[in-house]
Amino acid sequence: MTIPNLITILRFLLVPGVVYAMLSGRMDWAFAGFVIAGVSDAVDGFIARQFNQRSEFGAYLDPVADKLLLVSVFVVLGMMGELPLWLVIAAVTRDALIVTAVILSSVMARPVEMKPLLVSKANTALQIVLVIVVLAELAFRTDFGWPLDGLVYLCGLLTVASAAAYLVAWLRHMNGYGESTTTQR
């Protein structure tokens, strides 16, 4: 058990706290918890790289913790009407399809390499920014107006582009056309 893995496990423990804060109307606490989770993600990655504490366990655990938090917050914001349901459904469906593809590939004895695509990294980063903006808007009672709307549509576009890129990579991998880079990041 490495220090980065312990930090990642603590990030898992933040998920129910952030969700509870949101459901209790304590958006200031939800915002703080989400930001702390983001900082902890950066810290555990820095420690893992700088002090050679990378582990295979951490390579799987870290993105799962990130997705659990992001998907949970997306779903709650959708239930609250703060994010459009079409975006929540698109994001959750994309993640579910990626996980299903990875499992199916393994079951079919054609496991895929776990590397995120650039479009996926951009998608995740934009989803994080969107959540921070929405939680900040709710916590600090501000209104970001049309820039928030633009962020929502851009996030939707990147979600679809990312899903399509993974589908193409997965199909190529399953048909034997080179290595795939399907992952849950």
pLDDT digits (tens, 9 = 90+) for 128-180: 999 999 999 999 999 999 999 999 999 999 999 999 999 999 999 999 875 54
pLDDT at position 96 over 70: yes
Answer whether 121's CB lies under 8 Å from 185's CB. yes
Per-residue burial over 56-93, b = 16 or more CB atoms within 10 Å of its CB, e = otherwise: eebeebbbebbbebbbebbbbbbeeebbbeebbebbee
CATH of domain 3-174: 1.20.120.1760
pLDDT band at 185 (very low <50, low <70, confident <90, very high): very low
In the chain, where the domains are located: 3-174
pLDDT at position 118 over 70: yes
pLDDT at position 114 over 80: no
Look at residue 116 in the predicted model and tell me its pLDDT: 84
pLDDT at position 123 over 80: yes
Residue bearing the bigger pLDDT, 93 or 182 = 93
DSSP class per residue in 18-60: HHHHHHTT-HHHHHHHHHHHHHHHHHHHHHHHHTT---HHHHH
pLDDT at position 26 over 60: yes
As a whole number, mean pLDDT of residues 15-25 equals: 98
As a whole number, mean pLDDT of residues 96-115 equals: 89
